Structure 1
Amino acid sequence: MSQPSSADPVSVPETSAPQPSYTRLAMRNMVRKGKTSLLHFALTSIGLVAILVGLAYLFH
Structure 2
Amino acid sequence: MTVDIAGTAWPVYKLEAIAAGLAVFLVAMLIVGSMQVAVLGASALAAGVWLVGSVRQATRA
Q: Which has the higher helix share?
A: 2
Q: Which has the higher strand share?
A: 2
TM-score range, shorter chain: 0.3 to 0.5
Higher relative contact order (CA 8 A, sep 6+): 2
Greater Rg, structure 1 or structure 2? 1
Normalised TM-score (structure 1):
0.48
